[in-house]
Chain A
Amino acid sequence: MTDTVHEPLEQALIQLLTPEGERRSHTEYDSYIQDVDAEMLRGFYRDMALTRRFDKEATALQRQGQLALWVPLRGQEAAQIGSGRATRPTDYIFPTYREHGVALTRNVDFPQMLRIFRGISNGGWDPRENNFHMYTMVLAAQMPHATGYAMAVQRDQAGWDAERLAKDGEAVVAYFGDGSSTEGEVHESMVFAASFNAPVVFFCQNNQWAISVPFHVQSKVPLADRAAGYGFPGIRVDGNDVLAVLAVTRWALDRARRGEGPVLIEAVTYRMSAHTTADDPTKYRLGAEEESWVGRDPLTRLEKHLRDNNLADEAFFERVVTDGNEMAARVREEAMAFPDPSLAQSFANVYAEAHPLIQEELKWHLEYEAGFADTTEEGATR
């Protein structure tokens, strides 16, 4: 097997919007997007465009030395907006560290997301405000948390009938990638979820590359096929088709909500940019491969659909660009103005309850730091 050729991706994928922007009907999944009108479609485009613009600004900030690192997501906007928009506010999301688009759908304010990458916080935002968990840097470590959270949801909803579950039931989405799919915690989280029939949707963005290692080294079968081994459904969806991702994720969430257990979704997409700003894809993949994915760009596809069907006018696209630029300027301004964190506060966040070692070391730290202040004052008056 070579690492230059991939299977034609249109095969065996759920697709509702072709790369040419043509709507394809699907007997099973059309019913899940019946409410999607022109306004919603424009909203999805806007979400994706703003996400891409944010990604571009953050990348620039990193290049200018204002962020330690950035994790680009260009190419994965449809997978993220489609799945994120499928969730309800009461659903709880466990993201990887690349889910900036999902974050947008959860109303996490973009500048807050830069606190992690600017060395100010290891969390960034309050996960409980938007039911959007912190980014987890240890690959796949969030996966069993998602299953456990779903097990807790089950307990909170014990005794609910089908009608109430469908109406008010909560579900959990666990995001991961083709790279982390090989981690043991993905396996254990799926085993536990299956054992307890937990209401969790495992959403894999297969972006074809785990930094420099191509997907076929991670797996010899489509990732969705693995679900059969756990005894729940697996489904492959065109991850660059926002409509298909929305439909499939809604289907999976509805199912989980009703108490029918987990689903594994493999959204086939492509990491059009580097793994992180510290990465150099020219060392391991061909420009021709990257070029081949430009034609499948999720934004281009939706733009074609909107234009060809007269669902959006030129003014709309211009406004999206303007709004994106304004958002980017605000992101930059707010990120640069973040107050510096204090190490003293770090002491306070280690334990909930009083801890003698923390108290002792904090006292030492404060006295030590205060010593510098004294020296300066003495020097100034001497």
Chain B
Amino acid sequence: MSTTTMTLAKAINAGLDKVLAGNPKSLLIGEDIGRLGGVYRITDGLIDTYGADRVIDSPLGEAGIVGTSIGMAMRGYAPIAEIQFDGFVFPAFNQITTQLAKMRARSEGRFGAPVVIRIPYGGGIGSIEHHSESPEALFAHTAGLRIMAPSNAHDAYWMIQQAAACQDPVIFFEPKRRYWLKGEVDTQNPAADAFKAQVIRPGEDATIVTYGPLVPVALAAAEAALEDGRSVEVIDLRSVSPIDFDTITESVEKTGRLIVTHEAPTFGGIGGEIAARVSERAFLSLEAPVIRLGGFHMPYPVAKVEEQYLPDIDKVLEALDRSFAY
């Protein structure tokens, strides 16, 4: 086994390098991704290796970035577009939801537009407005798209490659506050199927389902819960659309208690979908209602108070308390 320690950011960079090296039709497009290497340096150095025709510094325009990516995909290219920040994806919302997602359906299955859209997402970085959002549910509601959110370097390295190889469009949400989180990357043995959830900490008494930036929070909460004598299982969803309900159901049938947590607002979020599915699939196994722990129903708050907004270890422990007290 050959493992290398990398930050999550470096792992995506290395994964993109592999994609570009492996598929001459693949290319990157986005704002400032070439010479600058992206505002988070995720594409750092790639323009030197692959040139400006394959690492395209685009004009500033998200609809243009996604729209031209769709056009290139129609002619056999495999574009990986970068949206600079979560809150800036909305100028491209029309292209993503009415065009990218529906191309295969509209062509009656003849062809699709296998574009990957990378979006650094989530809060906790003390940033200004529109730089800390979690819009994944808005895309999960759109058939035709797939959504991935890696939580660690190994997954990030492999999942970006799996996203690029996927014949369906993929929105790849990168947990920006974990970009500098280091982890072991096994560059020989691929990560599991990107669309399968993974039990990353086994437990017996309750299950926490999460993804992206909150995975370390869930793991820490599970560790802390041990002090109360509670054995908590943690599932990293990895794919937000489709959702691997089988893995979740299996866990809940064992533990009987489920907490779903994400940074995105609770209302209308991924947690609600999981709660509903689990109630359909494992109603008689549930010892307590499924608890959703997400953001409040407000625009993402100013940085000075974002810690009160975001789910954290204490909030997860409180949710566990509520579940066990039921």
Contact = CB atoms under 8 A, between A and B. Distances in A.
Given A128-B111, A184-B91, A149 B67 contact: no
Given A349-B108, A353-B167, A153 B75 contact: yes
Given A352-B104, A352-B114, A144 B71 contact: yes
A141 B93 CA distance: 11
A278 B319 CA distance: 55
B112 interface: yes
A348 interface: yes
B308 interface: no
Contacts of A158: 53
B242 A188 contact: no
A346 B69 CA distance: 25
A148 B107 contact: no
A20 interface: no
Contacts of A349: 104-105, 107-109
B88 to A, nearest CB: 14
Contact of A141 (B98, B168, B245): B98
A345 to B, nearest CB: 8
B245 A356 contact: yes
B61 interface: yes
B104 to A, nearest CB: 6
Given A151-B68, A192-B58, A123 B63 contact: no
Interface string B36-76: 00000000000000000100001101011011111111111
A289 to B, nearest CB: 33
Interface string B128-145: 000000000000000110
Interface string A124-136: 0011100001101
A198 to B, nearest CB: 9
Contacts of A147: 64, 67-68, 71
Interface string B74-115: 111101000000000001001100110010111111111010
A148 B94 contact: no
A192 B68 contact: yes
B237 to A, nearest CB: 13
Contacts of A156: 75
B166 interface: yes
A191 B61 contact: yes
Given A123-B106, A128-B111, A185 B63 contact: yes
Contacts of A127: 107, 110
Interface in A326-382: 345-346, 348-353, 355-357
Interface string A152-165: 11011010000000
A195 interface: yes
Contacts of A356: 195, 242, 244-246
Interface string B161-202: 000001110000000000000000000000000010000000
Contacts of B167: 352-353
Nearest to B246: A356
Contacts of A184: 63, 91
Contact of B105 (A126, A141, A145, A350): A350
Contacts of A353: 166-168
A263 to B, nearest CB: 18
B67 A188 contact: yes
Contact of A195 (B59, B75, B144): B59
B110 A126 contact: yes
A188 B68 CA distance: 10
A351 B104 contact: yes
Contacts of B70: 144-145, 148
Contact of B68 (A122, A126, A138, A144): A144
Contacts of A145: 67-68, 70-71, 74, 99
Q: Which of A128, A152, A191 has the most CB of B within 10 A?
A: A152
Contact of A152 (B72, B106, B111, B144): B72
A173 B45 CA distance: 35
A146 interface: yes
Contacts of A144: 63-64, 66-68, 70-71, 95
A123 B68 contact: no
B196 to A, nearest CB: 10
B78 to A, nearest CB: 11
A196 to B, nearest CB: 8
B104 A152 contact: no
A350 B167 CA distance: 11
A150 interface: yes
Given A191-B59, A351-B168, A185 B67 contact: yes
Nearest to A356: B242
A239 B59 CA distance: 32
Contacts of B64: 144, 147, 185, 188-189, 191-192
Interface of A: 92, 121-123, 126-128, 133-134, 136, 138, 141, 143-153, 155-156, 158, 184-185, 188-189, 191-192, 195, 345-346, 348-353, 355-357
- Lowest 9 CB-CB distances: which A-B pairs, in order? A148-B71, A144-B67, A148-B68, A188-B64, A352-B167, A152-B75, A145-B71, A149-B71, A349-B109
Interface of B: 27, 53, 58-59, 61, 63-64, 66-77, 79, 91, 94-95, 98-99, 102, 104-112, 114, 143-144, 146, 166-168, 195, 242-246
